[in-house]
């Protein structure tokens, strides 16, 4: 029976990954998304000694970009030092293990190239992007040193399990609450902001595929298309037959100082090498999130 170790197993991605791997017959071990543990070498050493994983999925991170300006030091410690700690400890305690790191489109920040590929230069514009950029380079260095280490460069991915502060879930929960008569308005920041959104379950399947390839490499997992926050609003309110114009209020205080620009991923390599294809459209995803929110 193959064995896997997942950091951040209680998060959106970790919980879906656990289900996917269990369904494939893996013995799954994992750590909840606690912030400090990953930076503690001793705790990690014991966990890897005990689980002896064939595959390690490093998903634990300080994830919310909007929070990271206030929490720069924590973000760097968890996302960068934590990843270095994991790579070093794994090389000693589980040297055969294949490692996938959940990197992020935010490493590209304001990219020169649209859409981005695995070779687009890294150019982060916020502390979250910086921390993920440093960790991505550490994974590449480990691979150059002979480790089976992979960066899954993940663009935004959502699901009914998405945290309530991310804009898709914020909109779906609010539209559902308005439909039930529990609230009347929804305050949002920049509704023209665009993201390359995918279904989290498609992205998770890509992570698993990435570790089954003969040789390690980096892969972009993205839809290759952007939609705006406004598109999310329209699909969500339409699903409960409400006029969004009567409920959505723009709140300048929710605008971001350093908004990344033109983050669109080109998933051609994942398609060609791994046979990866998204199974859910953006519209289907938001409708499902609305059904769950209701």
Using CB under 6 A, list all residues that contact ligand GDP: 65-66, 156, 165-167, 170, 188-191, 193, 195, 229, 254, 256, 259
Helix ranges, the chain (H) = 12-23, 41-51, 72-76, 82-93, 127-144, 167-179, 200-212, 229-239, 268-269, 282-293
Q: Which is nearer to ligand GDP, 27 or 288 (CB)?
A: 288
Which CB atom, from 3 or from 258, has the smaller least distance to ligand GDP?
258
CA 248, CA 271: separation in Å to the nearest integer?
38
* Cβ-defined contacts of 144-148 (< 8 Å, 24+): 147/87, 147/90, 147/91, 147/99, 147/216, 148/97, 148/98, 148/99, 148/211, 148/216
Nearer to ligand GDP, 92 or 256 (CB): 256
> Is 26 noted as a catalytic residue in this protein?
no
Q: How far is the CB of 289 from ligand GDP (least distance, A)?
A: 12
Give the active site residue among 16, 26, 128, 148.
128
159 catalytic residue (yes or no): no
From CA 82, how far away is CA 90, in angstroms rounded?
12
Which residue of the set 103, 104, 105, 223 is catalytic?
A: 104
Q: Are 262 and 114 in contact (CB under 8 A)?
A: yes
- Least separation, in Å, of the C-beta of 229 and ligand GDP? 5
Is residue 106 annotated as part of the catalytic site, yes or no? yes
Catalytic residue among 93, 106, 130, 158: 106
Residue nearer to ligand GDP on the CB measure, 4 or 174: 174
Q: Give catalytic residues, as residue numbers.
A: 104, 106, 128
């Amino acid at each position: 029976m193959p064995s896997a170790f997942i950091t951040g197993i209680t998060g959106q991605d970790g919980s879906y990954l656990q289900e996917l791997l269990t369904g494939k017959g893996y013995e799954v071990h994992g750590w909840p998304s606690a912030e400090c543990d990953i930076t503690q070498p001793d705790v990690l050493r014991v966990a890897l000694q005990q689980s002896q994983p064939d595959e390690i999925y490093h998903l634990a991170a300080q994830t919310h970009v909007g929070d990271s300006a206030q929490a720069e030091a924590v973000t760097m410690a968890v996302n960068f030092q934590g990843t270095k700690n994991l790579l070093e400890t794994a090389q000693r305690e589980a040297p055969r293990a294949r490692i996938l790191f959940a990197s992020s489109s935010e490493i590209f920040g304001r990219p020169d190239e649209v859409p981005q590929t695995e070779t687009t230069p890294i150019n982060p514009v916020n502390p979250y992007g910086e921390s993920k950029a440093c960790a991505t380079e550490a994974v590449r260095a480990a691979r150059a040193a002979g480790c089976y280490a992979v960066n899954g460069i993940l663009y935004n991915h959502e699901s009914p399990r998405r945290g309530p502060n991310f804009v898709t879930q914020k909109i779906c929960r609010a539209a559902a609450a308005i439909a039930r008569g529990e609230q009347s308005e929804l305050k949002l920041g920049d509704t023209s902001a665009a993201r390359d959104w995918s279904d989290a379950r498609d992205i998770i399947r890509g992570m698993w595929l990435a570790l089954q390839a003969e040789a390690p490499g980096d892969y972009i997992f993205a839809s290759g298309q952007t939609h705006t926050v406004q598109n999310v609003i329209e699909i969500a309110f339409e699903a409960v037959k409400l006029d969004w114009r009567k409920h959505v209020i723009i709140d300048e205080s929710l605008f971001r100082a350093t908004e990344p620009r033109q983050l669109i991923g080109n998933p051609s390599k994942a398609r060609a090498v791994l046979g990866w294809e998204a199974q859910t459209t953006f519209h289907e995803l938001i409708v499902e999130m609305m059904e769950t929110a209701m």
